[in-house]
Structure 1
Amino acid sequence: MADENEEQQTKGLSRRQFLKNSGYVVGGAVGGGLLGGVFTQNFVGTTSDQTNTDEGTENESPEQRTQARMFFKRQEDFDVLSAAVERIFPDDDTGPGAISLGVPYYIDKQLAGEYGFNSREYMQGPFFEGAPTQGPQSALLRRDAFLHGVRSIQDIAENQFNESFFDLEADDQDDILEAFEDGDIDMTGIASDEFFAMLRTATIEGAYSDPVYGGNLNMEGWRQIQYPGPQMAYTDAIDGEFEEIDPISLYDHHD
């Protein structure tokens, strides 16, 4: 993570403009091709009673559809997660941050589903330390890695500052997260930098994926980068000057 001065100078460009101009969003979290991970695997099957949800949810707002925890049982764990993702994707003058976009609920839902159980990955041993490009080589499921990571963040905050992570000043929160990013924290079953990489990726995906997956509340993440969502066609907007289109979600196609 950049230091505070660098963050103030570059956050508008490095976080949103870079994602807007790169294929990370258009080809990945939005297009579903590059990232493929957190949200493309998991929305189907993350609840036990989805077969009869249409009648009960068709009149619900996006907030009602999104803001219900499915994985994190302890409020403290969820509050630590929320504070951590907000430091990764903070609210600023370019738009809302991770909490306002519903990213903590997005991550919670993914961990309750296939993504959290690594259900589409080979998870049998033997396990050896791999190259950095190979990612985690562990029997630890993502849901367990996230829970372990969140509680490790809280333990460090309490041990070093005698406060909960979510009550710390932003600079102190950043110091803790930077220690994870640098791989300086001892964790069981996964390196701390690998956990931080998963947390950061899930945060970005939650900010920019379709709201149907639990994040990007009210499509505000898309509005920041002027992405119109899954439009059926652009035939009425392909000529002339650039046209800003109000985004639509998969929810809109369903309705």
Structure 2
Amino acid sequence: MAEENKEKQETLSRRRFLRNTGFTVGGLAVGGILGSLVPRGKDDNKNNPPAPQDQDFNQALMYFTPEQFRITEAATERIFPEDDNGPGAKALGVAYFIDHQLAGDWGFNARDYMQSPFFPGEKVQGYQGRLKRRDIFDIGLRELQNYSNTVGKKNFEELSGDEQDKILKDFEEDKVNLTTLSPSGFFQLLRSATLEGVYSDPLYGGNKNMDGWKMRNYPGSQMAYAEIIEKDFQKIKPQSLQSHMKH
């Protein structure tokens, strides 16, 4: 028994040492994420209560600055507002979806041909410029804020809903004089990204709790319908890709 107690004490001591100093990898002490991988004993949690079970770690900024996020959250809420049918873009986490997309290939236009020469395209051709989507959002959000301060004397997120609608409408109708990009082009990109965030799989940051799907009675990412395909129509509880990854 004495030997077992001694081994337990030594194990706890090693854990505390590793957690406090970090792992040593190739001569470099590494803490942070790696350090958090060391298992903790029951006595280690006295001063460190566990994180809430409902905490959503997917809702973290990857590209936006806090100001850009606030503008985007306010603008997307006006494009897809909360009403009697269900939550709006803010509650659905749409701004996080856009942030995550801009941080990845979509934001870099990784799958688009982006070489010159650049000519103004027809409306049916879509975007034909040299700016990447993340550049368009950077400029568009800055100009949206500048225009709000010029017209409404306040930041966009501080304006009333009607005032925000008027600002967005001016962008949509190209009533804002910009030399860097098309105001309507930015608005259309923002609107499309908003709708994608409302109805995308929650795995990508939006459609929180699958509420976007629930409003449409959309079943989500079901693996198969073999058990019900020959039965009468049934309302199915939506399922995310995240649930498949857990199995």
Same fold (TM over 0.5): yes
| 1:45-92 CA distance string (max 9 Å, x none) | xxxxxxx9xx9xxx996852321001112x221111110000000011
Match of 1:72 in 2: 64
**Aligned counterpart, 1:95:** 86
Determine if the alignment matches structure 1 residue 84 to structure 2 residue 112. Answer: no
Structure 1: tracts of 5 or more residues without a match: 1-51
Q: Does 1:250 align with 2:237?
A: no
Find the aligned partners of 2:153 and 2:180 in 1 and give their Cα distance. Answer: 26
Q: How many residues align?
A: 199
1:105-135 deviation per Cα after TM superposition (whole angstroms, max 9, x unaligned): 0000000110110111111111111111112
The residue type equivalent to 2:98 in the other structure is I
Pair 210,223 (structure 1): closer, same or farther in 2 beyond 3 Å = same
Output one character per residue of 1:156-208: Cα deviation in whole Å (capped at 9) or x when no partner. 11111111111111111000101111122233443111111110000000000
Alignment pair present for 1:107 and 2:105: no
Query: Which residue among 161, 164, 169 is the counterpart of 2:155?
Result: 164
- How far the C-alpha of 1:224 sits from its partner, in A, is 0.4
Q: CA deviation at 1:151?
A: 1.2
Secondary structure of residue in 2 paired with 1:177:
helix
- Bigger radius of gyration: 2
Please give the TM-score of this superposition, normalised by the length of structure 2: 0.76
Matches within 5 A, 1:6-17: none
- Work out whether residues 107 and 203 of structure 1, in 8 Å CA contact, stay in contact via their aligned partners in 2: yes
* Pick aligned residue for 2:125 from 125, 128, 134: 134
Q: Offset of 1:242 from its aligned partner?
A: 2.8
Kept after mapping to 2: 8 A contact 1:80/1:166 = yes
- Note the 1:179-194 alignment, pairs <5 A: 179-194=170-185
CA distance in 1, matches of 2:126, 2:147: 25
Q: Is 1:151 matched with 2:142?
A: yes
Counterparts in 2 of 1:164 and 1:177: CA distance versus 1, 3 Å: same
**In 2 relative to 1, CA 62–204 (structure 1 residues): closer, same or farther, beyond 3 Å?**
farther
> For the Cα contact (< 8 Å) 1:138–1:189, is it kept in 2?
no
Higher mean alpha-carbon deviation, 180-189 vs 124-133, is at 180-189
Q: What amino acid maps onto 1:224 in structure 2?
A: M
Separation (CA, whole Å) in 2 of partners of 1:252 and 1:126: 45
Q: Give, as a single letter, the amino acid of the residue that structure 2 aligns with 1:158.
A: N
Larger mean CA deviation between 151-160 and 236-245 belongs to 236-245
CA distance in 1, matches of 2:116, 2:159: 40
1:16-39 superposed Cα distances (whole Å, 9 cap, x missing partner): xxxxxxxxxxxxxxxxxxxxxxxx
Work out the percentage of aligned pairs sharing the same amino acid: 48
Runs of 5+ unmatched residues, structure 2: 1-33, 38-50
